[in-house]
Amino acid sequence: MNSTARAADALEAFQNHCVRKQWDTRLSQAGVEGGGTHPYRVRSRSLSLNLFAVAFWLGVVAVEYLIERSRAQSRSQGFTVARLHRKIDLFFEMPAFSVVLVTGILLIEPSRFDGIYAVKVFAGGIAVIGNLLCLVPVLKRRAAAENDDLSDVIRQSRLIDIISLAAIPAGLLTLACGVYLMLQR
């Protein structure tokens, strides 16, 4: 047996609470909150998926920001932006932020709910709610564009801008808090 295999076996024995109870004489009982034998496997996967989805979501928001900036160039460009933003929301942003929401809920640690951690959770909630709220004017704006209703396209665009003024900074604050907390561990 090589040393890499022995190290992996030792790590498995340490992390597997059922096995650990057999050899650790100081450990009278061992358990994993919520069941299971390994305390970090589900959390690690959820965290990895959450971080990937957050990065993807921020990339999608950045693309939306760039296309939104071009909407005032012409009437046809404004209508094109309305159509594109709807597709981006339905096919990319909503799935990404749904993954962020579900994995974020799985990762909540009630015992840590104070200070920067509480700010992170609260700001993340604002970002998610803002994203949900923003979907309504995005869909209405696309319908207005299909009906060639420029005034409604402009009205819905303003609503999107207002919601984004709260949701985007909240998302960035969440990311900053998350990075800070990760560096503190």
Domain, as residue range, for 136: 41-184
Are 52 and 9 within one domain?
no
Residues 50-66 have pLDDT tens digits of 888 888 998 999 999 99
Are 34 and 51 within one domain?
no
Are 46 and 34 within one domain?
no
Provide the b/e sequence for 104-130 (b: ≥16 CB within 10 Å): beeeeeeeeeeeebebbbebbebbbeb
Q: Are 94 and 56 in contact (CB under 8 A)?
A: no
Are 49 and 18 within one domain?
no
Are 24 and 58 within one domain?
no
Which of these ranges, 23-32, 74-83, 171-180, has the smallest mean pLDDT? 23-32
Are 8 and 60 within one domain?
no
This model's pTM is above 0.85: no
SS3 assignment, position 120 = helix
Are 31 and 49 within one domain?
no
Torsion of CA 5, 9, 12, 13, to 10 degrees: -170
Number of domains in the chain: 2
Q: Which one is predicted more confidently, 29 or 139?
A: 139
Are 50 and 1 within one domain?
no
Residues 105-162 have pLDDT tens digits of 988 888 888 899 899 999 999 999 999 999 999 999 999 999 999 999 999 999 999 9
Are 136 and 70 within one domain?
yes
Are 27 and 118 within one domain?
no
Residue 26 pLDDT exceeds 90:
no
Are 50 and 108 within one domain?
yes
Are 59 and 25 within one domain?
no
Q: Any alpha helices (H) in the chain, and if so which ranges?
A: 3-15, 17-23, 41-68, 75-88, 94-107, 115-146, 150-184
The pLDDT, as a whole number, for residue 182 is: 78
